[in-house]
Amino acid sequence: MKSKKTLWHGLTSISSLLLAVSIIGAQAMEASRSQLDLFFGTTSQILETDNDDDTLYTAYTPKKEFLNADGSGNSTAIIRGAIDLGRRESAEGSVLLKNNGALPLKKGSNVTLLGARSATNTINSGMGQKSQGPYITLEQALGDTQTHFDTTTVDKPIGTNFNFSDLKYGGNGVGAGAGYNVNKKVLEAYRAINTANKLGIQDRAGSDFDPKEPSLADLTAQDSSWQSSFASYGDAAIVVVGRPSGESKDYLKGSLKEELKNEEAGITEPLELSQNERDILNLATEKFDKVIVLVNTNSAIEIGDLKNNDKIDAILWIGHPGNYGFLGVADILCGNVSPSGGLYDIYATENLSAPAMMNMGKYEFTNADDLVSRSKKSRYYVIEAEGMYTGYRYYETRYYDSIVNPSSNAASTTGTYASKGNWNYADEVTYGFGYGLTYSELEYEIVGTPKFDYKPHEIYADVTVKVTNRGSVPTKANVQIYGQAPYTQYDKQNGVEKSAIQLLNYDKSDEVIPVGQSVEITVTCDFTYFASYDTNHVNPDGSKGTYIMDAGDYYLAVGNGAHDALNNVLAAQGYGEKDGMAGSGNADLAYKFVYNYNIGDKKIDDTTFAITKNNVSVKNWLETADWNYFKKEVTYLSRNDWSGTYPKEYTDMEIPDNMMSLLGGQYYEVQQNDDVSKFKWGVDSGLKFYDMVKADWDDPRWDKLVDQMTLEESIILAAAGGDALPAIPGVGLIEMQGTENAGNGVVYKLGATKTPNVPWAISDKDVNADWNGQVFPSAPVMASAFNPDLMKELGEFVANEALFLGVPILWGPGLNTHRHAYNGRNGEYYSEDPVLSGVCAMEFAIGAADYGLIAAPKHYAFNDQETQRNGVAPFLLEARAREIELRAFQIAMEATKYDKITGKDVGMLGLMTSFSKIGPVEVTCSVGMMDGILQQEWGFHGYAVTDISDDLDEFAAMCHAGCTGFDLRRLTNINIETLAKKLGNQIDTGEPLSVAHFENDATIQADLKASVKRTLWIIARSNIMNGYNSSTRIINQMTWWRGAYIAAITVTSVLTVGFAALYVFSVIKDKKEVA
């Protein structure tokens, strides 16, 4: 008989392989348990209590409207609320740019949708701020009297747990559309072509960009009779032009796909209308009496030709509306709602005319090989030579100077693109920042004189504006207050730059204003965000740099956007159309006042804003951000000499010797001989995390709780945060899961709660358990609403989503300012303006905090381009950094509005740092950014986390820890155990860096203590605290996937041993037979 030992041998081999795979798989699952729990709806850890006393589930509770009578969660109410809010955001955030009376278009009209994007709408970003789950298309929103919530969905088919049947209402219900009859034939042709072209609803920008707009011939080839359908749907053509946006890719100069370029027609840029887009627009104007254009983009498309084309009747900018925003767009088109938004960015005639465009893209140091760094992330730079003049600040200031000082070179030919001859605002700009129309006529009036409130280190001006509806349609109205500071001889001599106009604050009417009636809206302007930064000012203590206000004439002006406000200032200064003004001004809408506060015999007030609201003296912290700090090679744009300082492109820059070590990340040397005896680690004082619920920052018990943690536990908490914050059982801290996006919802399924014990938890068996909360519009739509209350409502809503899911931290919203239109990630950030951006983020975060969600605005700071974003070194002036990008964060972090309302320091609890550098230094490791400005000047003591993990960040941050205020973040808790052994790779040697390295470094140990305190402090203010009372314990749970891998390991182990035994038995048997 043939021996079976080879069979057993082979089977033993196979089972051993499977055993190894099972064990490795088990490790992978455990490392990703937090993500798996959310994906599968399982629970690996719970908080268990012995008594359900009154303290449980009371720290934060959802809004009553999302609960059933018995206190359980009502998923249908949540979804209905999301639809309603998304709809209102789009209705208020869409911006009417042009209307010759074609809009509103009456219900029952027969309309034809044209353009590839009319059939495949862009609803959100291709990466980053995405949408999830079912969404409403433009066709559905326009075409139905009730919309279908279950026919279109993002990425995947609708599962069994979407049941929106009771959300379908006719008439004016939550899903009511515009009620138009939509031409299906044309849409079907587009859909077929779009499918073949792989046109998506959430694409990204990119080099070699193709908008994938079919030619007329393509459409005819698809359906030879497509145009014949126009006759039946000829009341109006609604043409959609759009561009995607998304994380990681920019539009680049001249990057329109090569085959699509038309050099003769000057079509070379990705944000220009392509020839095919122009053709379909021309066809629309030929075939239809009414042509309405929807601009479906967050990146400023060049639409000057549409503005100037009389046959284009209306232009409505709609951004990326998210899952339900097209209902709001339909509300505007059919007249349910009058538009009331203002543009989030200036729309230039040609985007290349922005001086920032002279330097964007990929620039590599010529001597990058000399750098000692890893992964080539420090080889790239960008010189932001436009200085202070980004966005409208450039166009409006140059315009102002060309009017007020015609002999200056503001009107020279330098930097002209669309102008015929000398630089001319009307030619260079299509639509200004903040501009927007309503269906009515609004009359603005500044009521009385602004009320000033002068304090030692703060100044506020309350400006009350009366808005009267003089038209025939009820409408909401936004009120934008702008300021102009004088550009003085002192400024010119000391290199201080001033925008001729800047947004100071804004608000919106709470309700629609009935025809013929008025409302008064008071807007508080905080001069902290009006002051200029004087880098060269010598402070009393010998340091340099502070905020100043020049003595002189100032103006507060109201206007329909920045340009209108500036024209009102010009009118108040006696200028008119005869002086070459683009548009007219109204002197009554500008208030002039003379600033002489704290001036004395000086030319400037250098004391009022020299001390921050956190009572700290201001000084330069970012001098190394300026290339000229190392080597004087860069000229920054100055309004003192527009022509002579207009930026050139800085290519082939060589790293100066004195920059090399900073660029290589060699910031700090770990000390081995410090006296660390004062630090206590692992000293049990009997405190538990529950004891610290909402405890004050100054509560001395925090120090005791922090001392309870070992050095290793502290490092784990500091270094392994992020999507999942690790559990620290020693202090009773449960593992927590955050959520990533830019503030448009929580990116998890409603039924995948991490807190199944709370009374309102939505079960994974709920009819809507698969609904995903990431549904709201892109950030520019939210900003364009110019409605702080709506932003707060969004923050509250998203926090309620998080409360149902047990998610305590949101890595968002996006708060970088738009440096130029080509940043592929502009859809994730609100605006080019710091005040508009900062107020949006502040309102969102305050609304979120009210329901226990810690919002962490990102990316602090200077995510000015996606190209080489992982470590690109942007060089810029400190004044520019402080007055634009950082001002947005400052407004959010200081949250002064709510300090005043509550009477206490509110502040932000979270922040995410940028991938990029500030000058040659990683932002995460910049003492100035993380400590001097963030913590000292602004008083931030929340959780400042790095963007994902970057070993350069990791190394340097760990070695620079608390003096930079870092809290590290990794994607998961993978390698938590090994992290304690090695925290990163040393840049110079590549050798592991272990806990042992920190055992004798006093600076790092102090920093770790501070970091841990910050982290614990913010967690104690999150919805996680709902599950804690004095008897709370952390209990590990069995999950089905854990059971599966245990079974797999068990079975493969048994098989391996069994087959091996059989093999041995066969061998023995064979030997016996041979014997």
Partner 1 sequence: MEINKKDITLWLNGLAFVLALVATIVLSIANNTRGFSLVSGGEVVAYSVIAVVLIAVVVAMGALKGEQNPITTLAGVAAIFLMVFAFGTAILERIDLFGGLFSWDNLNSAGWGIFYMTVAAVVLYLASAVLLIVSSFRENAKA
Q: Which residues bind partner 1 (CB under 8 A)?
A: 3, 6-7, 9-10, 12-14, 16-17, 19-21, 23-24, 27-28, 31-32, 127, 247-248, 373-377, 868, 870, 948-949, 951, 970-972, 974-975, 978-979, 981-982, 985, 987, 990, 992, 1056, 1060, 1063-1064, 1067
Between the alpha carbon of residue 719 and those of residues 44, 69, 1008, the distances in Å are 22, 43, 10
Residue among 248 and 640 whose Cβ is closer to partner 1: 248
Residue among 548 and 720 whose Cβ is closer to partner 1: 720
Alpha carbon distance, N-terminus to C-terminus of the chain: 15
User: How far apart (Å, rounded) are the C-alpha atoms in residues 496 and 205?
Assistant: 36
Q: State the DSSP code for 302.
A: B
**Of 127, 39, 55, 65, the residue nearest 796 (C-alpha):** 65
Burial readout 20-33 (b: 16 or more C-beta within 10 A, e: otherwise): eebeeebeebebbb
Q: For the CB of residue 145, give the shortest distance to partner 1 in the complex, in Å.
A: 41
Q: Which conformational region is residue 361 in: left (phi greater than 0), alpha (psi within -120 to 50 degrees), or beta?
A: left
Q: For the CB of residue 748, give the shortest distance to partner 1 in the complex, in Å.
A: 18
The DSSP H or E segment spanning 558 is: strand 552-558
Q: For the CB of residue 978, give the shortest distance to partner 1 in the complex, in Å.
A: 4
Q: For the CB of residue 990, give the shortest distance to partner 1 in the complex, in Å.
A: 5
User: Is 684 exposed, middle or buried (CB count within 10 Å of its CB: 0-12, 13-18, 19+)?
Assistant: exposed
Residue among 693 and 1057 whose Cβ is closer to partner 1: 1057
Q: For the CB of residue 912, give the shortest distance to partner 1 in the complex, in Å.
A: 13
Residue among 24 and 538 whose Cβ is closer to partner 1: 24
Q: For the CB of residue 727, give the shortest distance to partner 1 in the complex, in Å.
A: 19
β-bridge partners, 478: 508
Residue among 526 and 950 whose Cβ is closer to partner 1: 950
User: How far apart (Å, rounded) are the C-alpha atoms in residues 639 and 708?
Assistant: 57
Residue among 6 and 195 whose Cβ is closer to partner 1: 6
CB count in 10 Å sphere of residue 878: 24
Q: State the DSSP code for 318.
A: -
**Of 445, 465, 467, 433, the residue nearest 563 (C-alpha):** 433
DSSP H helical segments within 390-508, as ranges?
A: 392-404, 425-428, 489-494
Q: For the CB of residue 880, give the shortest distance to partner 1 in the complex, in Å.
A: 26
Residue among 7 and 1034 whose Cβ is closer to partner 1: 7
Residue among 5 and 253 whose Cβ is closer to partner 1: 5
Note whether 294 and 99 are within 8 A (CB).
no
Residue among 308 and 375 whose Cβ is closer to partner 1: 375
Residue among 300 and 725 whose Cβ is closer to partner 1: 725
Q: For the CB of residue 867, give the shortest distance to partner 1 in the complex, in Å.
A: 9
Q: Is the preceding peptide bond at 28 cis, omega within 30 degrees of 0? A: no
Q: For the CB of residue 744, give the shortest distance to partner 1 in the complex, in Å.
A: 18
Q: Tokens at residue 724, please?
A: 């999942």
Q: For the CB of residue 19, give the shortest distance to partner 1 in the complex, in Å.
A: 7
Q: Are strands 552-558 and 590-595 parallel, antiparallel or unpaired?
A: antiparallel
Q: For the CB of residue 14, give the shortest distance to partner 1 in the complex, in Å.
A: 6
**Of 265, 525, 613, 306, the residue nearest 431 (C-alpha):** 306
Q: For the CB of residue 28, give the shortest distance to partner 1 in the complex, in Å.
A: 6
Q: Could you write out the three-class secondary structure of 742-762?
A: CCCCCCCECCCCCCCCCCCCC
Angle made by CA atoms 455, 457, 461, in degrees to the nearest 5:
55
User: How far apart (Å, rounded) are the C-alpha atoms in residues 283 and 688?
Assistant: 71
Q: Which residues contact 243 (CB under 8 A, 6 or more apart)?
A: 122, 205, 211, 251, 270, 271, 296, 297, 298, 299, 301
Q: For the CB of residue 285, give the shortest distance to partner 1 in the complex, in Å.
A: 42
Residue among 16 and 72 whose Cβ is closer to partner 1: 16
Q: For the CB of residue 652, give the shortest distance to partner 1 in the complex, in Å.
A: 21
User: How far apart (Å, rounded) are the C-alpha atoms in residues 1071 and 1075?
Assistant: 6
Residue among 901 and 1064 whose Cβ is closer to partner 1: 1064
Residue among 468 and 1066 whose Cβ is closer to partner 1: 1066
CB count in 10 Å sphere of residue 1074: 6
Q: For the CB of residue 16, give the shortest distance to partner 1 in the complex, in Å.
A: 5
Q: Could you write out the three-class secondary structure of 597-638?
A: CCCCCCCEECCHHHECCCCCECCCCCHHHCHHHCCCCCCCCC
DSSP string, 681-732: -S---S--GGGGTT--TT-THHHHHHHHS-HHHHHHHHHSEESEEPPBGGGT
Q: How many residues does the chain have?
A: 1075
Distance, CA of 406 to chain centre: 40
Note whether 792 and 852 are within 8 A (CB).
no
Residue among 6 and 1030 whose Cβ is closer to partner 1: 6
**Of 870, 853, 907, the residue nearest 373 (C-alpha):** 870
User: 73 — phi, psi (to 5°)?
Assistant: -75, 145
Residue among 115 and 206 whose Cβ is closer to partner 1: 206
Residue among 16 and 181 whose Cβ is closer to partner 1: 16
Residue among 22 and 817 whose Cβ is closer to partner 1: 22
Residue among 20 and 265 whose Cβ is closer to partner 1: 20
Q: For the CB of residue 1050, give the shortest distance to partner 1 in the complex, in Å.
A: 16
Q: For the CB of residue 992, give the shortest distance to partner 1 in the complex, in Å.
A: 7
CA atoms within a 13 Å half-sphere pointing along the CA-CB vector of 649: 12
Q: For the CB of residue 871, give the shortest distance to partner 1 in the complex, in Å.
A: 10
Between the alpha carbon of residue 685 and those of residues 701, 709, 711, 781, 940, the distances in Å are 10, 10, 16, 51, 28
